[in-house]
Amino acid sequence: MGRGYGFANRDIVSIRSFTREEIDYILEVSGTMEPLVEKGSDMLRGKVLAELFFEPSTRTMLSFQTAMYKLGGSVIGFAEPGVSSVWKGESLADTVRVVESYSDVIVLRHPLEGAARFAAEYARVPVINAGSGAEEHPTQALLDLYTIMKSKGRIDGLNIVLMGDLRYGRTVHSLAYALSLYDVKLRLVSPDLLKMRREVIEDIKDRIEVSEHTDLADVLLDADVLYVTRIQKERFPDLGEYEKVRGSYAVNLDVLKRAKEDLIVLHPLPRVDEVAVEVDSTPFAKYFEQARNGVVVRMALLALVLGAVE
Ligand code: NCD
C-alpha cells in the first residue's frame, strides 16, 4: 500500500477535507488493522496520544485508547465534562501548546464548533477532531462508512436514511458530507424542529439526491441503511422545545416489519429510546458491531497521521 496521500502529520478536523479516494484508502487500511486487534503490534511504540475531552464520551475516548494500546503506543489526557463553561480562547490555545510538547498526536472533543480547527492551528502535532459541538465528528463518519462497507460490501448504489436529530447531531453532518462522495440516495427523516442544517444540504445536493421527510414510513420500504441518532438534549437552547420532540422517533420490531430483510440499522450510540432493545437480537442491528469497528478505524487513523503506515 502507500499511494502517497501524505497522511503523515495531517490534521483530521473535518471530513470535508478528504477526497473519496482518500476515504477509500482509510477504509482499506482499517481492514488491514483487523488481525492486529488480536495480535497487537508495536508500530506506534514510543508514541504518545493526548486525549483532551471537554465533553463526555465513552466509545470515542475508549476506542482511541484501545487503538493506541493495540499498536504499542501510550495514552495521556483528561475527560472533564464540566469544563465547557470556563472555556476561554486563550486557555484552549495554551492547553494545546503545553500538551503538544508531551505528545505526538492530540485527540480533542469540545462543545464549541470550530474548537478542533482552532486547536489544529496552534498545535504542531496532528489534531484529530473527536467531536466539535454540533458541527462535525469525522472519525465517527469513517467508522460508519466502514461498517456499511463491511455489512453491505459496497456504499455505491445504496438508499440511506438518516433519522433523528439531524440539526444538533454532529455525526450525521460528517456522515452526510462523506456519503455525498458516493453514489447514494440520501433520505433525511426528522421532525421539522430537528431538520438537517441548510448549509449541509446546500453543500451536498449537487452531488447526490437528497430528500427530506417527517415520516419514516415514506422511505423505509426501499432503505438499505437506517442510521438513527439520539436527540441531543444537551444542545437544545430551550428545553421546552426538547419536550416537544422527545420520543418522537422510535424504531421497534413493529416498524421494521415494513423494512427490507437485509436492512441494517446503525446508531452512533449512546441510544436513549430511539431503537428499542428488542431490535438488538435481530439481524438488522449493527450498532454494537459499529462501535467495535471504531477500534480498527482509529488504529488506521493513528498509524496514518503518525506516519507508521504511508
Ligand atoms: C456521538 C457524539 O458524541 O456525537 N457519540 C459518539 O461519539 N458515538 C453521538 C451522541 O452523543 O448522540
CATH number, residue 100: 3.40.50.1370
Cα(45) to ligand 1 centroid in Å equals 29
Same domain, 190 and 80: no
pLDDT, mean over the chain = 94
Q: Are residues 124 and 240 in the same domain?
A: no
pLDDT confidence tier of residue 262, bands split at 50, 70 and 90:
very high
Q: Which atom of ligand 1 is nearest to the CA of 130?
A: 7
Q: Is 117 a pocket residue for ligand 1 (Cβ < 6 Å)?
A: no
- Does 150 share its domain with 40? no
Residue 10 lies in a domain: no
pLDDT at 89: 59
Give the distance from CA 11 to its chain's centroid: 15
User: 82 and 20: one domain?
Assistant: yes
What pLDDT digit, counting tens, does each position of 122-149 carry?
999 999 999 999 999 999 999 999 999 9
- Partners of 107 in the β-ladder: 51, 128
- Round to whole Å and give the CA distance between 118 and 80: 19
- Residues 67-78 have a mean pLDDT of 96
Task: Give the predicted TM-score (pTM) of the model.
Answer: 0.95
- pLDDT value, residue 83: 53
Report the candidate in 304, 302, 306 with the shortest Cα–Cα distance to residue 4: 304
Let me know whether 120 and 178 are in one domain: no
Alpha helices in 153-249 (DSSP H): 170-179, 198-204, 217-220, 239-245
CA of 142 to the centre of ligand 1 (A): 14
Ligand 1 centroid to residue 26 C-alpha, Å:
21
**Number of domains present in the structure of the chain:** 2
Burial (CB < 10 A; 0-12, 13-18, 19+), residue 74, is middle
- Does residue 170 have its Cβ closer than 6 Å to ligand 1? yes
Distance (Å) of CA 104 to CA 17, 90, 221: 21, 22, 47
Co-location of 181 and 107 in the same domain = no
Atom 7 in ligand 1: residue holding the nearest Cα = 60
Residue among 226, 279, 266 at smallest CA distance from 144: 266
- Burial string for 232-242 (b: 16+ CB within 10 Å, else e) reads beeebeeeeeb
Question: Is 310 inside any structural domain?
Answer: no
Mean pLDDT for 88-99 is 80
Same domain, yes or no: 130 and 218: no
**At 48, is the secondary structure helix, strand, or coil?**
strand
Q: For ligand 1, is residue 171 a contact (CB within 6 Å)? A: yes
Distance of CA 223 to the CA centre of its chain: 21
- pLDDT mean over 107-111: 95
Residue 184 sits in which domain range? 138-291
pLDDT number for residue 81 = 47
Same domain for 126 and 148: no
- Judgement on whether residues 64 and 147 belong to the same structural domain of the protein: no
SS3 106: strand
Confidence of residue 108 (pLDDT cuts 50, 70, 90): very high
Does 81 sit behind a cis peptide bond, omega within 30 degrees of 0 on the bond before it? no
14-28, 44-58, 69-83, 202-216: least confident range: 69-83
Q: Is residue 101 part of a domain?
A: yes
In what side-by-side order are the strands of the sheet with 264-266? Answer: 209-213, 185-189, 159-163, 225-228, 264-266
| Ligand 1 atom at minimum distance from 269 CA | 8
3 part of a folded domain: no
Task: Mark whether 142 and 283 lie in a shared domain.
Answer: yes
| Residue 244, pLDDT score | 85
| Index of the ligand 1 atom closest to the CA of residue 291 | 8
